[in-house]
Structure 1
Amino acid sequence: MSGSSSSEGIYQKLARKKTYLEETEVKKDKFKRVLNVYDLTALGTGSTLGTGVYVLAGTVAKSVAGPAVVLSFILAATVSSFSGVCYAEFAGRVPKAGSAYIYSYVAVGEFIAFIIGWNLLLEHTIGTAAVAKAMSNYLDSLLGSPQRKFMERNLPIHVDFLGEYPDVASFLFIMTIALVVAWGVRKSSSLNNLFTTLNLLTIFVVIVSGIYFANMSNWFIPKSEIPAGVNGGNGGFLPFGWTGMVAGAARCFYGFIGFDSIASTGEETKNPKKTIPLAIVLTLFFVTLAYSSVASVLTLMWPYYDQDRDAPFPVIYEHLGLPVFKYLVTGGAIFALFTTLIGCLFPIPRILYAMSSDGLLFNFLSKINEVTKTPFIATIICGISAGLLSTIFNLDQLVDMASIGTLQSYMIVCICVLILRYSDNTLVIRDLNKSEVYTISTWLNLSNTKITNTDTQFVSRVLILIFSVTASVFCICVASWESSHETVRWALSIAIAVSIVILLLTMFMLNRLPQAVESLPFKVPLVPFVPCVSIILNLYLMMELSVKTWIRFGVWLVVGLLIYAFYGLHHSLEGIKNNNEKNEENKQNISEVIVTRF
């Protein structure tokens, strides 16, 4: 019996939820609310339109997807859009700093929230390091590679899993941006707006010049015209097949990481319940349009197999004999990467602030500077950490780790939307000693109940669990089918068919259940279809990532679990509050017993 109560106590600790209340008191350490729709849209657009436009498109086109990189970006945009609308709904529910961490803390529970927050720290830290590395490589290449030549000659690194030399320039870039971000949100936002404007002008120049020099034959190059010794696949629009296009989408998804930085500004935004959802939707629209246009002109201007991995557009303009455009685009790329650097670094100290304020991470990370009104210490620590990563690792090594934490976070947010949409918001207290029997009528809601209750909430959560597990099996089987032997393919095909039936059935059953009646500034359309499809797409892209990425992710996760087990679990403010409430109840019960006896 004691073992049962002990396990129940552990479960209650892991599943305790954060109670969000609108703040009416002015706190001494509260952020300044100065950001509007334009600021947030510029932040999201600037943090997203960087490496993906100027580096990633050429890399994916060259050896992964070919001209179908356009479809890869569209597929990645679809996944991001589905997740984005879920983010938008949550931002309206919980307008606080912390992004998906706060959202999952309110909806699912503390343990899942810590995992999500920890993964977001990984995503943005590595994303910051990757952008700084790309910017350093870009600028170094423009100047004739002086840093590379000097460092390889004097300070080479002879370790397989590290870079060839210490990239000091990338460290300095990050620390400069860290100081700007720590200086104040209004200052960093103004600088971000300026760089974003210059970035959009550069992209406009690229698209217009690309249309002028476009050659449709570059989308349909036959295999016979591909030079010997060049990995050009089978030629045509899909030289590496549909699998290459999907694999390209998994890589292109890195280019859409950034819009969630908008959701971390809840305590610095004017009217966040309306501003944040609108900014997320606008950001996804502009970013998708820009990526699709840039990927199109890139592959139309020059053959996909001859693209440059590090700086595709400057090399293309050099081949076309347009040196002015080369330097113009290179300069625009530098400004764009600076903007992306701000967008990547901006959310990290705010996520640290949210987690440490809740007691799950160390308390000193939640200190707000009296002068700048920003988490100054956390920002500098984030800058140093990302700077060290960019100094010792290669760009490819950093990019490989950037997506997995984001995809998992997006998936959890979608699950949270489903959980909250089918939650029972009534004040009816359920008799826990009463045994419930759930019939087919209950599962299919044959009585056409229009208002959520404890029964429909229970059924919905079981269905969400079944859907999530089945979606995992489905994505693993689909990702493994192409590389499997003929006999294994039959088994995988059966598993895929069964999974599809279960997925469709659970979505149908969820659709039959009533949803909570809530007044929100933005709601995800077509629930449960949109969140469910988003879960599947996010899981599938996760399965396309390499085994090494999963191993590194596992190591990071273990470190986080140790911190939570030995610190966060015991210092959680929600846990302390629950213990205090229980102590008060015990004192009250003892007092009542004493009064009764006497």
Structure 2
Amino acid sequence: MSGPESKLSTFITKQTESFYQALCRKKTFVNDAELHGTEKLNRVLNVYDLTGLGIGATLGSGVYVLAGKVAKSITGPAVVLSFVLAAVVSSFSGVCYAEFAGRVPKAGSAYIYSYVAVGEFIAFVIGWNLLIEHTIGTASVAKATTNYLDSLLGDPQKNFMMKHFPMHMEFLGEYPDVASFIFVMAIALLVAWGVRKSSTLNNLFTTLNLLTVTIVIVSGFYLGKFSNWFIPKSEIPAGVDGGEGGFSPFGWTGIVAGAARCFYAFIGFDSIATTGEETRNPKRTIPLAIVLSLFFVTLAYSGVASVLTLMWPYYDQVRIKSSLRVIEFIYQKLGLPVIKYMVTCGAIFALLTTLVGTLFPLPRILYAMASDGLLFKFLSKINDKTKTPFIATVICGISAGILSTIFNLDQLVDMASIGTLISYMIVCVCILILRYKNNTDQRKVTAETFVEDKWFNFSNARTPTDQTQRMSRVLILVYTVAAFVFSFCSVNLGLYKDVFRLSLTIATYVSCGVLFVTMLLLYRLPQAAEQLSFKVPLVPFVPCVSILLNIYLMMELNIKTWIRFCLWLVVGLFIYAFYGVRNSVESIKQRALKDIKNEPEIF
């Protein structure tokens, strides 16, 4: 090869290697306090505050909506089992978050966790996903709040806007929802005012919401009839889809399908993990708050689901037009208008707490990414008086407010979950990576001690080495790919016939076998011995099952959601490529080291 061509080839090789190193560089946060100077967030939150935040973000209007919607046509009275199953699945992701929160007590949730464990590029993708998740989540809750209040008042806003300002565009809502924009901005200003003030108000709303839920559960068990759990098929009116009757009229299939719907009710506990720099003793407080919030939310959902089907036949709830008013309808029919109005107030408090819970993490994620240089620096500025990321909070409020104003609720909800599921999956992958990481000084393994039995660890080695670390990462990659194949084939199995169906069936069984074998091999590998405030039990089983379930739920999402997600991701990748790669704090550190060593700069 000639001289110029050789130099070009060498240059391209160095560029490629340097770019790969840039994508994989990991965050070191030991000296972050020095980097950020005196602009620190205010550490004022305790276990009670974080548990309230988690419950508020998770136990929203769904406690009054979801149980009725799932029971009437999917599970029947067995909806309580669907909630328990969904809670178990959610707890898998929850305990992975809890361990990571103990490892990395920083603001930023799954973004910062993946930055430390996997690398910068994956961290940016996760952070970018979390931004769209919480923005759309805030917009959808604001939309639901104004829709509910408007319906209670006789639809004055809807009637006025439809008459004077209708929007005749298919991809937009029917009219501009100005009230939802006002709601979002009011909550945004409250969150920007101070973490203690917003936390106090959130605790108040959450307490009132839990009080209402308790009244519903107690009165429901008192007024309910256990005969409504065992209605025979012969007593179901003609023309009503009541399944086979009994406690589980739609069988085990209905329970599992209901659990898939109920899973989304538990999304929100990750809001707790964004408060690492505003929490006292975060290594202990955050894991405990995550576990407590999931426990209380499970009790609330299961309790309401039980009494809802005890008080009124499940099949008769299908004729109620507004899902949010199912419990109101039941209490009205039972002649208890006082409790009906209490439930109405409780629904409003639930919506407001969810609005605070979904908006609160958003500026913290922006702050974390901007502090690391991956987004524009002005977003990381902390207000001297409020000790909050004031500018980031206001921008988040405006963005979510605009979305809630111009789009309808269904369009917003369709995009709300994909970012969450991806971040949950990445956190579980990171837990596996860290558990099998070599934290010792041992860098070599002799051929006599660990070659032939390396995959099954017949020698029962208990300390990870470089070799076992590499093996674990290969197995994690294989497991993740197999989970995608299994989930895709399982979801689409019923859509095809003949040869395509046979191919999908074979792929499903093969990928299932690969999942089992890789999990077994991971179980046999030695894990790192670490002293942590909280550790995920039953590794690798819990993280692996969580990865599979999160991927399966992602495959259940429609194609439009994936298209919107891909468009959002492309925008983020442009920002990272033209700004984040060179302006990240880790990149600046690396360039400083190169300057000291007088090495040529590439990235």
TM-score, normalization by structure 1:
0.93
Paired position in structure 2 for 1:556: 568
State how far apart, in whole Å, the 2-side matches of 1:515 and 1:124 are: 34
Secondary structure of the residue aligned to 1:441 is coil
Judged with a 3 Å threshold, the aligned counterparts in structure 2 of structure 1 residues 340 and 507 are, in CA distance, closer, same or farther, namely same
Asked if 1 retains the 8 angstrom alpha-carbon contact of 2:444 and 2:465, the reply is: no
Q: Which residue of the other structure, out of 406, 412, 435, is the alignment partner of 2:420? A: 406
Name 2:461's counterpart in structure 1: 449
Q: Is the 8 A contact 1:407 1:539 kept in 2?
A: yes
Deviates more, 1:122-131 or 1:347-356: 122-131
Pick closer, same or farther for the CA change 1:449–1:328 going to 2, 3 Å: same
The one-character-per-residue Cα deviations of 1:431-462 (angstroms, maximum 9, x if unpaired) are 9xx99998442222222221111001001100
Distance in 2, matches of 1:440 and 1:481, equals 39
**Of residues 286, 296, 314 in structure 1, which corresponds to 2:296?**
286
- Matched with 1:525 is 537
Q: Pairwise mapping of residues 449-488 of structure 1 onto structure 2 (< 5 A)?
A: 449-485=461-497, 487-488=499-500
Letter in 1 for 2:358: C
Inter-CA distance 113–339: structure 2 relative to 1 (3 Å threshold) = same
Partner in structure 1 of residue 188 of structure 2:
178
1:241/1:389 Cα in 2 relative to 1: closer, same or farther (>3 Å)? farther
Please, what is the CA RMSD of the aligned residues?
2.4
Partner Cα distance (2:447, 2:562) in 1 = 42
Deviations 1:73-102 (A, max 9, x none): 223212210000000000011000000000
CA distance in 2, matches of 1:113, 1:203: 38
1:90 aligns with 2:90: no
Say if 2:443 and 2:465, in contact at 8 Å, map to a contact too.
no
Q: Residues of 1 paired with 2:170 and 2:447: CA distance?
A: 60
* Cα contact 2:184–2:400 (8 A) shared by 1: yes
- Percent identity, please: 70
| In structure 2, distance between residues paired with 1:387 and 1:150 | 20
Paired position in structure 2 for 1:317: 331
Q: Is residue 57 of structure 2 the alignment partner of residue 47 of structure 1?
A: yes
CA distance in 2, matches of 1:274, 1:130: 32
| Partner of residue 123 from structure 1, selected from 129, 133, 137 | 133
* 1:475/1:543 contact within 8 Å kept: yes
Match of 2:354 among 322, 340, 348: 340
Unmatched 5+ residue regions in structure 1?
589-598
Matched residues in 2 for 1:65 and 1:555: separation? 36
Give 2:14's aligned residue: 5
Q: CA deviation at 1:236?
A: 4.7
Amino acid at match of 1:200: L
Distance 2:156 2:19 in 1: 57
1:424 aligned onto 2:438: yes
**Equivalent residue, structure 2, for 1:592:** none
Q: Paired residue for 2:6?
A: none
Are residue 375 (structure 1) and residue 389 (structure 2) matched? yes
Does the 8 Å CA contact 2:381/2:390 hold for their aligned counterparts? yes
For 2:448 and 2:22, the matched residues in 1 are separated by 25
Unaligned runs of 5+ in 2: 1-8
Asked if the contact 2:480–2:547 (Cα under 8 Å) also holds between the matched residues in 1, the reply is yes
Distance in structure 1 (CA, Å) of the matches to 2:125 and 2:595: 29
1:9-48 counterparts in 2 under 5 A? 9-21=18-30, 27-48=37-58
Deviation at 1:22, TM superposition (A): 6.6
Query: In 2 relative to 1, CA 12–218 (structure 1 residues): closer, same or farther, beyond 3 Å?
Result: same
Residue by residue, what CA displacement relative to the aligned partner does 1:348-370 show, whole Å, maximum 9, x if unpaired?
A: 00000000111111111111111
- 1:544 aligned to 2:553? no
Are 2:450 and 2:459, in contact at CA under 8 Å, matched by a contact in 1? no
Among 268, 271, 279, the alignment partner of 1:261 is 271
Give the CA deviation at 1:288: 0.9
**TM norm structure 2:** 0.92
436 and 295 in structure 1: CA distance in 2 versus 1, 3 angstrom threshold: farther
CA contact (8 A) 1:59 1:310 kept: no
Shift of 1:242: 4.3
The equivalent residue for 1:594 is none
CA distance 1:456–1:122, change in 2 (3 Å): same
Partner Cα separation in structure 1 for residue 280 and residue 96 of structure 2: 21
Q: Between 453-462 and 4-13, report the one with greater CA deviation.
A: 4-13
Q: 1:150 aligns with which of 160, 164, 173?
A: 160
Assess if the C-alpha contact under 8 Å between 1:69 and 1:248 holds in 2: yes
